[in-house]
Chains A and B, each alone.
Chain A
Amino acid sequence: MPVVPLERLPLPSLRVYSFVSVVALSACTYYAAQIIKEPNWNYPGDFDKNDDNFENRNGTDSDGRTVSQFVSDIFTVMTREPVCVWTMINMAFCWFILLGRAVQKLVFGDLRVSEQQQLRDKFWNFVFYKFIFVFGIINVQYIDEVLLWCSWFSLLGFLHLLSQLSKDRFEYLSFSPRTPFWSHVKLMALLAAIFALSGFMFVVSIFVGFFGGLNTFFFMFYEVLLLAIRTLHVIIRYAFHLYDVRNETTPPTATDDNRTLDKRGPVSYYVELTFDLTALIIDLIHHLHMLLWSNIFLSMASLVICMQLRFLFHEIQRKYKKHRNYLWVRNHLEQNYPMATKAELQENSDNCAICWENMDAARKLPCGHLFHNTCLLSWLEQDTSCPTCRMTLNIQNPSVANMEPPELQTDPQENTRRPFNHFFHFDGSRYVSWLPSFSVEVSHVQAIRQNHMATNSQLDAMARQVQTLFPHIPLSTIIEDLRVTRSVELTVENVLDGRLIAPPMFRDLDIDWTPDRNTFTLNSEPEPSARNWDEYNTENVETEDTAALGSRFSKSSTEREKILHKRKEHMIKQARKRYIEKQKAAAVVAKSELQS
């Protein structure tokens, strides 16, 4: 497959790039300063060429020209010279990247591998679509226009990526019970800032639209709106989550009132649905507008847009069907299964089998099993049987079933998987002669995981190659890394640089892995009885501290981790000891049998 491995392109490091940018800008300034000195500028001054700092703005130089005048002169010269213009744009771009890096360092710290992957995908996706937009739809003719659109989209893309990153990070943080308070505050502040900036960009789009026409305004407006909606969605989900987590710490008596705001409750369901649908519909309108406005139905650009339209349409359809199913199941639930009475609740002292939490109110299925209303609803949406006894409930949505019988039977995940893999061969010369051609495979993480199942044999082969070099690292760890790097060389590099280490269990035990451990050859294998088991001395397994370890569930998460690790170590040591002792005993028996 002609996939360009983007991460392997020889991109310079940020430091080198910033340095080069600054040097280039200085050179241009110097050049401009020299131009001003020339006679046709009528200012034969002999001031320093790098005297363009803004400190003594009000001071005058030897010719009576103010520094600000001097700066503006230099600026005029530079805007006339294409090379200088590009250098300045480059510098602005550099600042932008530095700003992004600063925000990343401040709010996110180090990015996780999946976040990087997601970011990279989003970035190239965005670049691709905006490229299509600028050169295929708007069909700009002048370099100024290109520049204006580019700067607009850089800012927009930057905010979109930040918003996406915040969403990923929020989802990750919600996976952990011990997220520090400050990470929440920082992330929330960033989200609020993005939201505020989208307001600012809305003002800009009105301003530009005032001069550029209604279409331009709308093209800018859709994107701003999308950004605002997505950001707000994350903010609201975040707020719900924080509320939810806070409930966990409050005493259980308070939770039943708050249950309405539970992540599975109807409020959050409708919020999710509204945001998802609105974003999709706006995106759909945006693409339709582009298609109708561009008037080029038989081009690469319209093809791409049609693909995207199809995808959006399917998504909306899927959401709609899911929602109808939800409504149907909910109605069915309310009409056919009554809430459990107080007596029934008291009789049944068990917790809800779905969430393992206490039940203050519950719905009763015909088989007599009780569950929380929201828990039951979210389960019945995907399956129509009692979770406990598997009794089939007579829930069938006739309207949906008649409309699309095959759609309902397929796994709901199946539908989401399909559209997530875009493969673009990108022939840049179709648009502008100097553009390169390349292919990009934009696949989302979910799709990547699916792909791996198919290419496992390939990965296996690669992993074995790596393992012959580093036999102490387990195959699974190597495969994991190969999934990210997709190259033997890079994984080897990772191992050498210490980025890829054997998981603690394997490390501590210092297992003597044989390189050919994957080929199950049984020749010249010494029989267990023939081995000298005495050379394996069983180390003393401390039993006293395990008594302290067992049957305790610490409140501190670091302590829990430590205890778990110790318990595991102890278990392996014990098993090892038992195994060796057993083999020794067997050897003794075999020997005595031989002698007799």
Chain B
Amino acid sequence: MAGSALRRLMAEYKQLTLNPPEGIIAGPINEENFFEWEALITGPEGTCFEGGVFPAKLVFPPDYPLSPPKMQFTCEMFHPNIYSDGRVCISILHAPGDDPMGYESSAERWSPVQSVEKILLSVVSMLAEPNDESGANVDAAKMWRENRIEFNKIAEKIVRRTLGIPT
């Protein structure tokens, strides 16, 4: 399995390097393990996460692209769709079989046609528009709904931390 997965990952890496989407960098940190990548995602403009550069780790299964990778932010995040340990909860990362939240239609789920680039772009739009129905981080979802000003302040703090600016 790993052979074909490796070839596909190499192709994706090449594409992401040659035609990188705006504000996104991704690739294996250490090519000794090509199945573990680090991605940097720039916070989308005009949102509370604007300007921040958020590092995340992507771990691919040996049967990629039949199964989706796992994605986890390695910086601190405060977002309705991100667990407190950084794991990202978006439908594109869920295999068609499992549906932990029970609200996703299978059309949004993982399929081998998806790619790292599409995942990262979905994450960018998730940062811009949280889906407050998913309960990955209940506190964040509640604050997003009820106290947007405070939420923005926390996001601002996180942005500064990722840039190495004292808060």
A348: interface (CB < 8 Å): no
Tell whether, in the assembled complex, residue A379 and residue B66 are in contact, meaning their CB atoms are under 8 Å apart: yes
By a CB distance below 8 angstroms, the chain A residues around B63 are 378
B130: interface (CB < 8 Å): no
CB neighbors of B among A528-582 (8 A)? 528, 536, 550-553, 557-558, 560-561, 563-564, 567-568, 571-572, 575-576, 578-580, 582
Give the number of residue pairs across the A-B interface with Cβ within 8 Å.
184
Given the known A-B contacts A355-B4, A520-B157, are A571 and B25 also in contact in the complex, defined by CB atoms under 8 Å? yes
Tell whether, in the assembled complex, residue B78 and residue A520 are in contact, meaning their CB atoms are under 8 Å apart: yes
Q: How close is B107's CB to chain A, nearest CB, in angstroms?
A: 5
A121: interface (CB < 8 Å): no
B42: interface (CB < 8 Å): yes
Tell whether, in the assembled complex, residue A514 and residue B25 are in contact, meaning their CB atoms are under 8 Å apart: no
Tell whether, in the assembled complex, residue A264 and residue B1 are in contact, meaning their CB atoms are under 8 Å apart: yes
Tell whether, in the assembled complex, residue B2 and residue A460 are in contact, meaning their CB atoms are under 8 Å apart: no
By a CB distance below 8 angstroms, the chain A residues around B52 are 575
A512 to B38, CA, bound (A): 22
Given the known A-B contacts A354-B112, A512-B164, A576-B164, are A382 and B97 also in contact in the complex, defined by CB atoms under 8 Å? yes
Tell whether, in the assembled complex, residue B27 and residue A564 are in contact, meaning their CB atoms are under 8 Å apart: yes
Residue in B closest to A375 when the chains form the complex, CB atoms: B112
By a CB distance below 8 angstroms, the chain B residues around A572 are 40, 53, 162-164
Tell whether, in the assembled complex, residue A578 and residue B51 are in contact, meaning their CB atoms are under 8 Å apart: yes
Picked from B106, B153, B159, the residue with its CB within 8 Å of the CB of A390 is B106
A20 to B128, CA, bound (A): 65
Residue in B closest to A526 when the chains form the complex, CB atoms: B167
Tell whether, in the assembled complex, residue A520 and residue B35 are in contact, meaning their CB atoms are under 8 Å apart: no
Tell whether, in the assembled complex, residue A175 and residue B34 are in contact, meaning their CB atoms are under 8 Å apart: yes
By a CB distance below 8 angstroms, the chain B residues around A177 are 6, 10, 31, 34
B14: interface (CB < 8 Å): yes
A176 to B2, CA, bound (A): 9
Q: How close is A450's CB to chain B, nearest CB, in angstroms?
A: 12
CB neighbors of A among B103-160 (8 A)? 106-107, 111-113, 150, 153-154, 156-157, 159-160
Picked from A178, A245, A456, the residue with its CB within 8 Å of the CB of B85 is A456
Q: How close is B157's CB to chain A, nearest CB, in angstroms?
A: 7
Given the known A-B contacts A382-B96, A390-B107, A411-B98, are A175 and B33 also in contact in the complex, defined by CB atoms under 8 Å? yes
Picked from B17, B28, B33, the residue with its CB within 8 Å of the CB of A172 is B33
Tell whether, in the assembled complex, residue B165 and residue A576 are in contact, meaning their CB atoms are under 8 Å apart: yes
A100: interface (CB < 8 Å): no
Q: How large is the interface on A (under 10, 10 to 19, 20 to 34, 35 or more residues)?
A: 35 or more
Q: How close is B84's CB to chain A, nearest CB, in angstroms?
A: 7
Q: How close is A24's CB to chain B, nearest CB, in angstroms?
A: 42
0/1 interface trace, chain A 122-157, chain B, CB 8 Å (1 if under): 000000000000000000000000000000000000
By a CB distance below 8 angstroms, the chain B residues around A561 are 28-31
Tell whether, in the assembled complex, residue A476 and residue B96 are in contact, meaning their CB atoms are under 8 Å apart: no
A474: interface (CB < 8 Å): yes
Picked from B23, B28, B74, B112, the residue with its CB within 8 Å of the CB of A379 is B112
CB neighbors of A among B68-82 (8 A)? 72-76, 78
B65: interface (CB < 8 Å): yes
A515: interface (CB < 8 Å): no
B3: interface (CB < 8 Å): yes
Tell whether, in the assembled complex, residue B3 and residue A505 are in contact, meaning their CB atoms are under 8 Å apart: no
Q: How large is the interface on B (under 10, 10 to 19, 20 to 34, 35 or more residues)?
A: 35 or more
A37: interface (CB < 8 Å): no
Tell whether, in the assembled complex, residue A560 and residue B4 are in contact, meaning their CB atoms are under 8 Å apart: no
Tell whether, in the assembled complex, residue A567 and residue B74 are in contact, meaning their CB atoms are under 8 Å apart: no
A264 to B64, CA, bound (A): 12
CB neighbors of B among A77-122 (8 A)? none
Picked from A474, A477, A557, A579, the residue with its CB within 8 Å of the CB of B31 is A557
A552 to B14, CA, bound (A): 9
Tell whether, in the assembled complex, residue A575 and residue B53 are in contact, meaning their CB atoms are under 8 Å apart: yes
Tell whether, in the assembled complex, residue B14 and residue A378 are in contact, meaning their CB atoms are under 8 Å apart: no
Picked from B66, B74, B85, B163, the residue with its CB within 8 Å of the CB of A503 is B74
Residue in B closest to A390 when the chains form the complex, CB atoms: B107
Q: How close is A218's CB to chain B, nearest CB, in angstroms?
A: 35
0/1 interface trace, chain B 29-49, chain A, CB 8 Å (1 if under): 111111100101010000000
B11: interface (CB < 8 Å): yes
Tell whether, in the assembled complex, residue B34 and residue A579 are in contact, meaning their CB atoms are under 8 Å apart: no
A551 to B55, CA, bound (A): 21
Given the known A-B contacts A171-B62, A479-B85, are A474 and B164 also in contact in the complex, defined by CB atoms under 8 Å? no
Tell whether, in the assembled complex, residue A387 and residue B40 are in contact, meaning their CB atoms are under 8 Å apart: no
Tell whether, in the assembled complex, residue B3 and residue A245 are in contact, meaning their CB atoms are under 8 Å apart: yes
Picked from B23, B72, B154, B165, the residue with its CB within 8 Å of the CB of A520 is B154
Would you mind naming 27 contact pairs between A and B with Cβ atoms under 8 Å apart? A175-B32, A175-B34, A176-B34, A354-B66, A355-B65, A356-B7, A379-B66, A382-B95, A383-B111, A385-B111, A387-B113, A390-B106, A456-B84, A460-B85, A474-B75, A476-B85, A476-B86, A477-B74, A511-B161, A517-B167, A560-B27, A564-B28, A564-B29, A567-B25, A572-B162, A579-B51, A582-B51
B: which residues have CB within 8 A of A? Answer: 1-4, 6-8, 10-14, 17-20, 23, 25, 27-35, 38, 40, 42, 51-53, 55, 57, 62-63, 65-66, 72-76, 78, 83-86, 95-98, 106-107, 111-113, 150, 153-154, 156-157, 159-167
A: which residues have CB within 8 A of B? Answer: 171-172, 174-178, 241, 244-245, 248, 262-264, 353-357, 375, 378-379, 382-383, 385, 387-388, 390, 411-413, 456, 459-460, 474-477, 479, 503, 505, 509-514, 517-518, 520, 522, 525, 528, 536, 550-553, 557-558, 560-561, 563-564, 567-568, 571-572, 575-576, 578-580, 582
Q: Given contacts A382-B66, A388-B111, A552-B18, list 17 more A-B pairs with CB under 8 A.
A: A171-B2, A172-B33, A174-B2, A178-B32, A248-B3, A354-B65, A357-B7, A385-B96, A387-B113, A411-B98, A456-B84, A514-B166, A520-B157, A552-B17, A572-B40, A575-B53, A580-B165
